[in-house]
Amino acid sequence: MKIAMLGSGFIGRFYAGSIQGQRRPDRIISIYSRREESARKFADDYGCEHWTTNMEEAIAHPEVQIVCIALPNNLHEAAVHLCCKHKKAVITTKPLGRNAVEARRMLEAVESAGIFAGYLEDLVYTPKFLRAYESVKNGALGRILWAKSRETHPGPHSDWFWDLEQAGGGCILDLGCHCVEIARSFIGKDIRPLEVMCWADTQVKPIDAEDHAIGLVKYENGAIGQFEVSWTFRGGMDLRDEVMGTEGTIWINNFLRTGFEMFTTGKGEGYTAEKAESNTGWLFPMGDEANDLGYNHMFTEMFNALEKGVEPRETFYDGYVVNAILDAAYRSAKTKLWEPVQLDIWRGRTGVTRDSHLTEYDTEHYLVKEELTHYGARKLILKNKQTGKITEKVSDHA
Ligand SMILES: NC(=O)c1ccc[n+]([C@@H]2O[C@H](COP(=O)([O-])OP(=O)(O)OC[C@H]3O[C@@H](n4cnc5c(N)ncnc54)[C@H](O)[C@@H]3O)[C@@H](O)[C@H]2O)c1
């Protein structure tokens, strides 16, 4: 692939490291950055033949096959419209829009232009997520009841994130977009999110947006998604997911304390890991940060999809649904009520009811629970189907 990168900041560089790492044939041939020195420096660092401070010039570059948007949230939409104008395939970082209205306009624009469009939600491409997802899809966890995702860290690294107008929100939008898509993927992207209850507050930072929030997303099949986000968490970046189903459980720790622990007095030590607050004492580095954060699998899947002419697994439609869920979270944080998810475009299933959760014990009873106790008894808790009476049956005494 010949790529134009828009933005030479934090994520643009992470993406470039992933795209051009491990002897990939893909190359960033054009870089757009707001400032000339940043564009030149990025071009030098990654061997780009063309740099510019004019966004449209990078997109329109005749050799560019796909445009990667790595710009502040308020610039995603304008960049997407330019890609439509020049009929260039586009992939954009998260969140798709600052809200669902922007996201919907972007979705409709790429669809009417007929261009390939991918949503760069890296955290559903981490090696651990991909493995967990396979297990969930194979039924190893049974019916998914609850999926929780947490992203908390000490706050973002650039001025614009802290400005409500440019960012479009605080940690709900910045971090909640990851958590919502993770939970949605485990629960089933074809299951309609119905309503959201969210608490949010500005607990520490002198900003207009929220710096801490917890939310619940109710799905049509009865499953619940939960997100926990913070820009005020101390101690690094905490990325953890939990999935609970009728047949099993998965816990994933993607970042902090994942089995690599190191002590140093600080001599000779520089960078530790994203958002790590220290480089002395006991540290928790990552083995291969870009891979562990999902960037490698994400770009492989995006570029393969473009080459094969199929949709990637994360589309602008997914970005739109995520924005719509987060809009409801913002409304709920204000009203303190369950707020409906307003999805003007719904492409999944409708009218999905809960699967039966009853286990037959015999013709007269349902099984509530079976347990082997520490004193060797096998206990069965049963419910009579007719009378509703709960009884227990004890057998196999030690
Ligand atoms: N895991 C992830 O997927 C992930 C992580 C971090 C950031 N992001 C997203 O990436 C995007 C960029 O974030 P970042 O962390 O790279 O930010 P950044 O501030 O580090 O970099 C932003 C880039 O955009 C340029 N820029 C800033 N303001 C501009 C303006 N007004 N006009 C033109 N260019 C401007 C900057 O010069 C820089 O090149 C955001 O949408 C953010 O949410 C995604």
Give the domain CATH number at 117.
Answer: 3.40.50.720
CATH number of the domain enclosing 235 = 3.30.360.10
Which token pair is 177?
């977009």
| CA dist list (Å): 25 to 3, 18, 21 | 11, 12, 9
Ligand 1 pocket test: which of 11, 237, 299 has the largest number of ligand atoms within 8 Å of its C-beta? 11
User: What is the Å distance from ligand 1's center to 7 Cα?
Assistant: 6
Question: Is the same domain home to 223 and 363?
Answer: no
Q: How many CB atoms lie within 10 A of CB 114?
A: 8
User: Residue 198: phi, psi to the nearest 5?
Assistant: -140, 135
274 lines ligand 1 (CB under 6 A): no
User: What is the Å distance from ligand 1's center to 143 Cα?
Assistant: 38
**Is the alpha carbon torsion for 59, 321, 144, 362 positive or negative?**
negative
| pLDDT at res. 223 | 97
Residuewise pLDDT in 10s, the chain (398 residues): 999 999 999 999 999 999 999 889 999 999 999 999 999 999 999 999 999 999 999 999 999 999 999 999 999 999 999 999 999 999 999 999 999 999 999 999 999 999 999 999 999 999 999 999 999 999 999 999 999 999 999 999 999 999 999 999 999 999 999 999 999 999 999 999 999 999 999 999 999 999 999 999 999 999 999 999 999 999 999 999 999 999 999 999 999 889 999 999 988 878 899 999 999 999 999 999 999 999 999 999 999 999 999 999 999 999 999 999 999 999 999 999 999 999 999 999 999 988 778 899 999 999 999 999 999 899 999 999 999 999 999 986 65
Alpha helices per DSSP H over 74-220: 76-85, 100-113, 127-137, 164-167, 171-174, 176-187
Q: Whose CA is nearest to atom 35 of ligand 1?
A: 34
User: What is the Å distance from ligand 1's center to 341 Cα?
Assistant: 28
| CA dist list (Å): 24 to 27, 28, 268, 314 | 8, 11, 31, 21
Quick check: 28 and 16 in contact, CB under 8 A?
Answer: yes
Ligand 1 pocket test: which of 33, 34, 177 has the largest number of ligand atoms within 8 Å of its C-beta? 34
Atom of ligand 1 nearest to the CA of 8: 39
How many domains are contained in the chain? 3
For residues 219 and 352, give the distance between their C-alpha atoms in angstroms, rounded to a whole number: 10
| pLDDT at res. 357 | 82
Q: Whose CA is nearest to atom 40 of ligand 1?
A: 72
Q: Whose CA is nearest to atom 7 of ligand 1?
A: 11
User: What is the Å distance from ligand 1's center to 374 Cα?
Assistant: 56
38 lines ligand 1 (CB under 6 A): yes
| pLDDT at res. 96 | 98
For residues 121 and 99, give the distance between their C-alpha atoms in angstroms, rounded to a whole number: 16
**Is the alpha carbon torsion for 185, 187, 188, 192 positive or negative?**
negative
| CA dist list (Å): 360 to 163, 246, 390 | 56, 15, 14
Structural domain includes residue 212: yes
379 closest CA partner among 393, 391, 366: 393
Question: Is the same domain home to 64 and 157?
Answer: no
Question: Is the same domain home to 281 and 137?
Answer: yes
Residue 143 lies in domain: 124-288+316-340
For residues 178 and 147, give the distance between their C-alpha atoms in angstroms, rounded to a whole number: 13
Q: Whose CA is nearest to atom 19 of ligand 1?
A: 158
User: What is the Å distance from ligand 1's center to 357 Cα?
Assistant: 46
Q: Coil, helix or strand for 238?
A: strand
Question: Is the same domain home to 77 and 161?
Answer: no
Q: Is the peptide bond before 95 cis (omega within 30 degrees of 0)?
A: yes
User: What is the Å distance from ligand 1's center to 59 Cα?
Assistant: 17
254 lines ligand 1 (CB under 6 A): no
Quick check: 227 and 214 in contact, CB under 8 A?
Answer: yes
CB-neighbour burial class of residue 309 (10 A; exposed 0-12, middle 13-18, buried 19+): exposed
70 lines ligand 1 (CB under 6 A): yes
52 lines ligand 1 (CB under 6 A): no
Question: Is the same domain home to 170 and 58?
Answer: no
User: What is the Å distance from ligand 1's center to 257 Cα?
Assistant: 27
Question: Is the same domain home to 81 and 145?
Answer: no
User: Residue 281: phi, psi to the nearest 5?
Assistant: 80, -155
| pLDDT at res. 97 | 98
For residues 252 and 292, give the distance between their C-alpha atoms in angstroms, rounded to a whole number: 12
| End-of-domain residue from the set 92, 123, 154 | 123
Question: Is the same domain home to 169 and 233?
Answer: yes
Atom of ligand 1 nearest to the CA of 293: 1
For residues 311 and 302, give the distance between their C-alpha atoms in angstroms, rounded to a whole number: 8
